[in-house]
Structure 1
C-alpha cells in the first residue's frame, strides 16, 4: 500500500519537520505500507483564505498526479482540509482529510472538544470546519499558539529544551479549553500533532489529546483496506459526483500553464 501525504509546508525551509514527519509516518505505518510526504513551495506562509486556496489548488493537482502514479490513497495533511471535497470528487482512490478524520475521532472519545491551532487566524476556519462536519455544537472553543512552522524547527531537529517549550505552550493553550468543558483536545495541525507524538497517553487534565497525524494515517489505511475489500467509494450522487476526464484535464492544464491570454468573451485567444 502506497499513501501520498500532502503537507502545506516547504520541504527545504522546514526540512527537520518534513524529515521527522516522513520517518514518523513510516515508522507507525502497518506492515507493507509506505508513505511519501510532499511539500508545497511557496508554502502556506501568509495565513489566510487566499493562501489556503492557492495551496489547495496545488494539492489537488498533486493528488490527481498521485492517483495516476499508482498511489492507493491521498491524505490532505493540512488540518484545515482546503480542497478536500474537490479532490475526493475527482479520485477513485480514498482521499482523507486530516481535520475531518480528527474531528470524527474526537467525537468518539468525548462529547465536547477544544482545538489548539497554529495561529489565531484559523479560529474561524476551524469553526466552519466543525459546522461542515456537523459537529459545531460540540466545540468548546479554539485557541491559537500564534507561531509559525519555523518555530517548531529546533524541536524537530532534536533540541529538547525547544521541544519542552513548545509542549508547555500547547498545554497553556489547551488548559482554558478543558476548564471550559472540553473533554478531548485536538491539535489542529500536523505540526503540533507531531510535536506531541512522543508523549504516550497524553492528557490535559482528564482530556485526551488526539494525535492528528496518526489518526489521518490510520484512517487512510482503513479506507484503502475497505476499498479493496468491497470496492466502497464515496457517494457519487450530488455529494461527490465523480469529475469527468475533461474537467480533470482542464484543471491540470490550468495549473501547468496558467490562465493564458483571454478574449473579451473569456475564451482563450487563438
Structure 2
C-alpha cells in the first residue's frame, strides 16, 4: 500500500545524511497521486491502521502524520507534478518544499467536499499557508479542479513550466540545491518555517483533525452515496480523470 510505503521511505530518509534533495514524482501516466482510497470514507478503523508504525507527531491521523513527516525532513523536498492530484495526493504535494508542475498537463484539487467530508490529511493547513484563507476556502468548499495557470497564480505551485522542460528544470534546481552544504539547507528551512507557520504545523493539524470529526465518519446518507459510486467504478482511471463530474452524479 502506498501510504505505509511512503511512511517507511520518509523514516529512512530522515536519517540519511548523504541525501540533500528528494524529488517526488509518479511513474503512473496521467496521475501524480489520485487521492486516499475512497473506501476509507466508511472505514475509519482501516484508515487509522495505516499509521500502525507511526511515531512522533502525536495526535495526528495517518495522512497528517505523513505530511508532517515529509515537512520535517532535513532535506529539501521537491514535487515534480504531472497529471491529476486530488485529496491526499494534493496534500502529499503540498507537504513538499517546492512544487513544479507541467503546464497544461497538471490538475490539482481537494475533492473531499464532493465526498461529503473536508480535507483531513493536512490540506486545510498546508493550502492556507500557500494560498491564503479565501482561496483555501474556495478550494475546499467548491472541491473544484484547478489548472496550472490558476495554481501558479494562487501560489499553489512554485512554478508551472512547459511540460517538455519539466524534467530539465527540476533536475537543474535539484542539482543546484544539492550543491549547498547540509547546514545551509537546515539553516534556510529553520529561518523560513516560522514565518510561514511551519513551526506550529503539528498543533494546527490537530485543529484540522478536530474539525474533520464533525463530518467523518460520514453520515449514512453520504456513506450510501459513496458506496454506490465505488461500486460503479469511482476509482478506475477513466472515471478518475473526470472525478468531479462523476461524483456529482451521485
TM-score per shorter chain, which class?
Answer: 0.3 to 0.5
More helix by share: 2
| TM-score normalised per structure 2 | 0.38
| TM-score normalised per structure 1 | 0.36
